Amino acid sequence: MIVDLPDSTISRVQKTLVKIREEGGAVALGRVLTLIISTRLGDEEEAIEAANDASREHPMRVIVVSTSTDLDDVDGRLDAQIRVGGDAGASEVILLRAYGETASDEEGLVTGLLLPDAPVVAWWPKTAPPVVSESPLGRIAQRRITDAASQSDPRQSIIDLARSYAPGDTDFAWTRLTLWRAQLAAVLDQPPYESVTEVGVSGAPDSPSTLLLAAWLRLQLQVPVDGDLTTRATGSSGIHGVRLVRASGSIVLERSLDDVATLTQPGQPTHDLALPRRSLRDCLAEELRRLDPDDLFGNVVRHGVGQLSEPVQSN
């Protein structure tokens, strides 16, 4: 069910939610969190679709704050829409399209719509504020999700985040590494248990995930990391491969196809492993599984990124 509320107010939205609940049942029962999505007019649907899919694992209230880029061109106005039932997955979606002066107070728009006593997660699918933890929506959220790959300069966005990081910040560039990190950790957990002496990471020059993977390996292994951040002839984006150098030879994990990686190890047959590119839904669902700060990500972005340009300290 979709209920349109043109030229509305937050008070009218609240009253309509109560009416829907009374007529159709307790809509808010079982909601475990409030997800606030901050985006621009016209960019809402992809994020809403990902949130609806993720809501089947995390029932939630979704508040979408969609603002105009030209705040001075129109009079202040709020067009609201409420989606429940089949149009909202296992969540309820409140879409707030704010124009003019109304768009300047994002925190005021959402405060009265938050679920009581439930955690708040803020997500910027596209352009994010320079310091998300100090933004109007970031101040009221326990977790703040950005996506460096959607920024104008993805790698610089990670470097900027390293400077402004606050506990609770995270980025989908890190979430996209989960399968890569799991495969590499599994390989190193098998004999021979030799120390890694050098690491090579290759990927597209604008790939923030490649930068974070190199930073994670440098931080965890404390060995030199050779970052070959160059685009291959195939033009593929993201991470291309990782090479771990040990005394017995090199371990190479290389993504040969979009969903398949090839693992090569000394003295063992070559293996093809499932290593799919993660969807927006997968990334969002994973980040919503934890509402406390991701300390490992914090260490990687604050310390690992900086260490990439520093010499390894000898023990």
- Per-residue pLDDT, 148: 97
- Per-residue pLDDT, 200: 95
- Per-residue pLDDT, 72: 58
- Per-residue pLDDT, 231: 42
Q: Residue 150, exposed/middle/buried by CB under 10 A (0-12, 13-18, 19+)?
A: middle
What's the CA gap between 93 and 95, in Å, rounded? 6
How do strand 249-255 and strand 239-246 relate by DSSP bridges?
Answer: antiparallel
- 112-147 pLDDT, tens per residue? 999 999 999 999 999 999 999 999 999 999 999 999
Q: Which residues, other chains included, contact 257 with Cβ-Cβ below 8 Å and sequence gap of 6+?
A: none
DSSP E strands: which ranges in the chain? Answer: 2-5, 33-40, 60-67, 77-83, 92-99, 120-123, 143-146, 169-171, 198-203, 225-228, 239-246, 249-255, 260-264, 271-274
Q: Which range is least confidently modeled, 85-94, 186-195, 298-307?
A: 85-94
Give the rounded percent of residues in the chain with a pLDDT score beyond 70: 90
What's the CA gap between 168 and 185, in Å, rounded? 25
More confident residue, 314 or 289: 289
- Per-residue pLDDT, 313: 66
- Cα three-residue angle 108-15-125, rounded to 5 degrees: 45
- Cα three-residue angle 67-73-76, rounded to 5 degrees: 60
Confidence band, pLDDT 50/70/90 cuts, at residue 301: very high
Q: Which residues, other chains included, contact 233 with Cβ-Cβ below 8 Å and sequence gap of 6+?
A: none
Give the rounded percent of residues in the chain with a pLDDT score beyond 90: 75
Residue ranges per structural domain of the chain: 2-171, 178-274
229 has pLDDT over 90: no
Nearest to 217 by CA among 120, 146, 305, 138: 305
> What are the tokens at 130?
């320079």
232 has pLDDT over 50: no
At residue 147, φ and ψ (nearest 5 deg) are: -140, 100
More confident residue, 296 or 258: 296
166 has pLDDT over 70: yes
What's the CA gap between 31 and 22, in Å, rounded? 17
> Which DSSP string do the residues of 179-236 spell out, in sequence order?
HHHHHHHHHHTSSS-PPP-EEEEEE-TT-HHHHHHHHHHHHHH-S-EEEE----TT--
- Per-residue pLDDT, 29: 52
More confident residue, 8 or 235: 8
Whole-number average pLDDT of the chain: 90
- Per-residue pLDDT, 189: 93
157 has pLDDT over 90: yes
More confident residue, 251 or 229: 251
Please compute the mean of the pLDDT values over residues 5-14 and round it to a whole number: 96
End-to-end CA distance of the chain: 64
- Per-residue pLDDT, 20: 85
314 has pLDDT over 60: no
Please compute the mean of the pLDDT values over residues 188-208 and round it to a whole number: 92
235 has pLDDT over 70: no
70 has pLDDT over 80: no
Question: CA 227, 229, 232, 234 torsion: positive or negative?
Answer: positive
Rounded to two decimals, the pTM is 0.92
